[in-house]
């Protein structure tokens, strides 16, 4: 395995770890936003 490949793999796993942490921290906000939009759409359909 070359140094470039090892560095690329390390960087990729680092990015994945950052992305996972970001998704985990942002997820509740996205979830609540989606639920709010869904209830709003449901309410407008019943009117």
Q: What is the pLDDT of residue 7?
A: 61
Strand, coil or helix: what is 47? coil
Range of the domain at 17: 1-47
Rounded to the nearest 10 degrees, how much is the dihedral formed by the CA atoms of 5, 17, 22, 37?
90
Supply 13's token pair: 């796993």
Domain count, the chain: 1
In this prediction the pTM is 0.37
Per-position pLDDT tens, the chain of length 47: 577 676 666 666 888 888 888 888 888 888 888 889 889 988 887 76
Rounded to the nearest 10 degrees, how much is the dihedral formed by the CA atoms of 25, 30, 36, 37?
170
Integer Cα distance of 46 and 17 in angstroms: 43
């Amino acid at each position: 395995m070359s140094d470039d490949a090892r560095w690329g793999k390390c960087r990729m796993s680092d990015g994945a770890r950052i992305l996972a942490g970001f998704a985990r921290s942002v997820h509740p906000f996205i979830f609540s936003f989606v639920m709010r939009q869904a209830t709003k759409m449901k309410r407008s359909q019943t009117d």
